[in-house]
Structure 1
Amino acid sequence: MAAPLIAVTADRSLRESAFGPRDSTLQVVEYADAVVSAGGRPAMLPATEVIPTDLLDGFDGLMLTGGGDLSPELYGQEPDEKVYGVSPIRDRFEAALVAEAQQRGLPILAICRGMQLINVLRGGSLLQHIDAHWQTRTSHEVEHDVAIDPSSRLAEIVGASVMGVNSYHHQAVDSIGSGLRVTARAGDVVEAFEDPDANLIAVQWHPEHLFRVSADNHALFDDLVGRARAHKERNTAHV
């Protein structure tokens, strides 16, 4: 049986080119490297203006990646002056992906912006700017620890109630969305949540930068690919 196929979302933004500003797709290759390291097959999904139906046909899992900020209008707020990188096209595209993934029962790993998107789609809100969570060292180094709920699925995945993470976000979860269980915090900042009923794990940090040097962070990708493999096997058995 082929390795599980994981859909990996991509950023969309205006970039300068020889032809002037162009809408462009960009993604950090470490997301794909992490999926491959865990035994999966990654496939990038650029955010398109027109959203195809059945976009996740053939996929076994979904990774919602980092990037620019969500449009604050999605959670009923006016934009703060420090909001950046908003892409309404990406917001709509990924909201449709989440809806389809949940309808299909696909496992989801949501990272940074992806976590914030899930929270907003569940009716939660965000703090539009916080100053203390943008580290000065490289993204491949641990910045601080997070305290994990020992009864959570996250604790089971990493095998610990404390783990080291990096910190590259200027926004954070404020009110928590419906059906989401907070599973990790750093002080009063929500660092992870999950919804076992939706096959969903979400983290605020960037494990794709740490998977090579941190077994705890690698375990998040092992878990995603493992859940995707189980989903694939169940579907194959029913054919």
Structure 2
Amino acid sequence: MPGRAPVIGLTTYLERAQQGVWDVKASFLPHAYFNAVNRAGGIAVLLPPQPVDAQIADRVLDGVDGLIVTGGKDVDPARYGQQPHETTDEPRRDRDAWEDALLTAAIRRELPFLGICRGMQLLNVVLGGTLHQHLPEVIGSNRYNLGGGNYSENDVAVDDGTVLSETLGGPVVSVHSYHHQSIDRVADGVTVSARSGDGVIQAVELERVPFGVGVQWHPEENPDDIRLFEGLVDAARKAMK
């Protein structure tokens, strides 16, 4: 059907949440994520953490045309062979396993995907890379994590000839950051496509996926710039054909 909108699956949090008299464990996702997908021309479907295996992951991806692995708590450092740093979050192993299975299946299928903050870090870990568990100890500042829910603005340099460059244009973009971890050892097959001036990896790509992009920042927090979401939706639309 001409003009059929792509369906984009977005992973969600699984945390305690309050509404009225209820205080329960709940799946949720900030509106900014799926609002950006809607504005980019996609249909958003939320994918909460749940028991998973390869068959379930494949069945889920049968119903979507693209995938977004969203931000959230730190990836369990046991997944990349490290003990937790004192600042590292309590592991969300159910979410780690869920998103690992979805990413693994998406890569195998060459399904367009976008990893955001935690999503980029998990992508690197799934493929065999590691993370800096507490970035301020590496760069000597809290410039990427001001705390209190306040996003910092940082400039990142985008490499020419990358999917990210084609999607965002200019060699330098201003982004919204909120993270205390980052990629350390880059996994095999992963290409770094953007860094900040202090050397922190800000974006990666997988060449074997038509739109397989991870960014360390939070593009959903800039409602005036939805180019990354448009890039994903466009790639998903092309894959549908």
- TM above 0.5, yes or no, is yes
Selected match of 1:152 from 153, 157, 162: 162
Alignment match, 1:78: 83
Letter in 2 for 1:205: W
Q: TM-score of the superposition, structure 2-length normalised?
A: 0.88
Quote the residue 1:220 is aligned against: 228
C-alpha distance in structure 2 between counterparts of 1:198 and 1:103, whole Å: 9
Q: Which residue of 1 aligns with 2:73?
A: 68
Alpha-carbon distance in structure 1 between the residues aligned to 2:171 and 2:74: 29
| Structure 1 Cα separation of the partners of residues 18 and 42 of structure 2 | 34
Q: How does 1:78-227 map to 2 (within 5 A)?
A: 78-131=83-136, 132=142, 133-135=144-146, 143-186=153-196, 187-199=198-210, 200-210=212-222, 212-214=223-225, 218-227=226-235
1:36 aligns with 2:38: yes
The CA distance in 1 between the partners of 2:22 and 2:122, in whole Å, is 32
For 1:59, the equivalent position in structure 2 comes to 64
Moved more, 172-181 or 49-58: 49-58
**Is the 1:13–1:85 contact (alpha carbons within 8 Å) kept by the matching residues of 2?**
no
Evaluate the alpha carbon distance shift between residue 19 and residue 38 of structure 1 in structure 2; reply closer, same or farther with a 3 A threshold. closer
Indicate conservation of the 8 Å contact 2:146/2:152, yes or no: no
- Report the secondary structure of 2:235's partner residue: helix
Q: Which amino acid aligns with 1:184?
A: A
In structure 1, give the amino acid aligned to 2:88: V
The aligned residue for residue 230 of structure 1 is: 238
Q: Which moved more, 1:142-151 or 1:91-100?
A: 142-151
- Deviations for 1:122-175, whole angstroms, at most 9, x for unmatched residues? 110000012321136975x76110011112221111111100001100100000
Aligned residues: 227
Q: Give the conservation status (yes or no) of the 8 Å contact 1:75–1:125.
A: yes
CA distance in 2: counterparts of 1:177 and 1:157, whole angstroms: 23
> In the superposition, relative to structure 1, how do residues 19 and 39 fare at CA in structure 2: closer, same or farther (>3 Å)?
closer
2:208 is paired with a residue whose SS is helix
Q: What is the rounded CA distance, in whole Å, between the counterparts of 1:85 and 1:137 in structure 2?
A: 19
Equivalent position SS for 1:166: strand
Q: 5+ unaligned residues in a row in structure 1: which ranges?
A: 234-239
- CA-CA distance at 1:62 after TM superposition: 0.3
2:34 counterpart letter in structure 1 = A
* Aligned CA-pair RMSD: 2.0
The amino acid that maps onto 2:95 is R
Q: Distance in 2 between matches of 1:185 and 1:142?
A: 16
Deviations 1:59-114 (A, max 9, x none): 10000100001000000000111111521000001111112212222101110000
More displaced stretch, 97-106 vs 45-54? 45-54
Identity %: 39
Match of 1:11 in 2: 13
Q: Is the Cα contact below 8 Å between 1:35 and 1:41 reproduced in 2?
A: yes
Q: 2:27 maps to what in 1? A: 25
Cα gap change, 1:108 to 1:232, in 2 (>3 Å): same
